[in-house]
């Protein structure tokens, strides 16, 4: 009975802490068609949780591995930028071709694994406390959260489809989370400037993201405003020019 209560406690705490993870996962898979999106979310979430269990089983020192959280934070920042890029890109350029879809699927799965694993590293420390240091309890508790991540991510993806403007808010929030993740990297924690970096790094992440978003929007608006030369019109113009003496 005590073991079951511990598992329930671990699962509940991880579900509460995994809201950001579901948001990041849905953003990473947002570009894919509906059927491929489900596969990417399912495979990516499962692989990330299994890797986290392996890391925890190998020893908690791996969770404190330097630079890992910085890499995950930068990856998460890029996911946010790419989501906005695909959102503002013209519809004619947005959909991947059939031949490119398998690559898009595995690229999305890779992004999900890196982003979710990086965010779960923070949760793992809380989970270790909730599990009273018992690895079996931790493993089962993590496994129970896989369905929540999968269905939560799918729900958020549907919200993105129906309310596209939320994409910008979600991307900005994930950028802040990415900055906080990078700021809490063990390398930065050892520096005397960490109290300043704890806020400066997330603010920098968000500022660069906002600047990149503005530039992307202006760029694609400029491209839409450019006149498109149709082949028939160009051919007619060249014929008229050739007929003139």
DSSP string covering 58-105: H-GGGTT-TTHHHHHHHHHHHHHHHHHHHHHS-HHHHSPPTTTHHHHH
Report, as an integer, the average pLDDT of 132-147: 75
Question: Does residue 162 have a pLDDT over 90?
Answer: no
Q: Cα–Cα distance between 140 and 16 in angstroms, integer?
A: 16
**pLDDT mean across residues, the chain:** 74
Residues 141, 82: Cα–Cα separation, whole Å: 32
pLDDT, mean of residues 183-189: 82
Give per-residue pLDDT as tens, 2-17: 777 777 777 776 666 6
Q: Lowest-pLDDT range, 21-30, 130-139, 148-157, 164-173?
A: 130-139
142 neighbors 127 (Cβ within 8 angstroms): yes
- What is the percent of the chain with per-residue pLDDT over 90, rounded to a whole number? 5
- pLDDT score, position 91: 46
pLDDT score for 206 = 93
Taking the chain, what is the end-to-end CA distance rounded to the nearest angstrom? 98
User: What ranges do the domains of the chain cover?
Assistant: 2-226
Mean pLDDT of the 100-111 span: 72
Note the pLDDT tens digit of each residue in 78-105: 878 877 877 776 544 444 444 445 677 7
Question: Which pLDDT score is estimated for 77?
Answer: 86
């Amino acid at each position: 009975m005590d073991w079951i209560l511990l598992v329930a406690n671990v699962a509940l705490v991880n579900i509460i802490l995994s809201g950001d993870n579901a948001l990041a996962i849905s953003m990473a898979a947002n570009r894919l068609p509906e059927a491929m999106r489900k596969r990417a979310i399912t495979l990516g979430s499962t692989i990330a949780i299994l890797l986290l269990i392996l890391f925890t089983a190998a020893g908690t020192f791996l969770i404190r591995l330097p630079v890992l959280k910085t890499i995950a934070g930068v990856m998460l920042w890029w996911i946010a930028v790419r989501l906005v890029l695909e959102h503002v890109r013209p519809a004619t350029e947005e959909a991947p071709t059939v031949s490119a879809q398998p690559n898009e699927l595995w690229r999305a799965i890779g992004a999900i694994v890196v982003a979710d694993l990086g965010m779960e590293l923070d949760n793992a420390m809380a989970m270790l406390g909730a599990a009273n240091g018992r690895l079996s309890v931790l493993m089962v508790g993590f496994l129970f959260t896989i369905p929540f991540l999968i269905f939560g991510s799918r729900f958020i993806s549907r919200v993105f489809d129906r309310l596209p403007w939320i994409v910008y808010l979600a991307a900005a929030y994930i950028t802040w989370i990415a900055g906080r993740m990078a700021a809490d990297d063990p390398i930065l924690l050892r520096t005397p400037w960490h109290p300043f970096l704890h806020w400066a790094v997330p603010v920098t992440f968000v500022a660069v993201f906002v600047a990149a978003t503005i530039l992307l929007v202006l760029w694609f608006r400029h491209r839409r405003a450019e006149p498109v030369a149709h082949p028939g019109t160009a051919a007619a113009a060249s014929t008229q020019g050739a007929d003139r003496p």
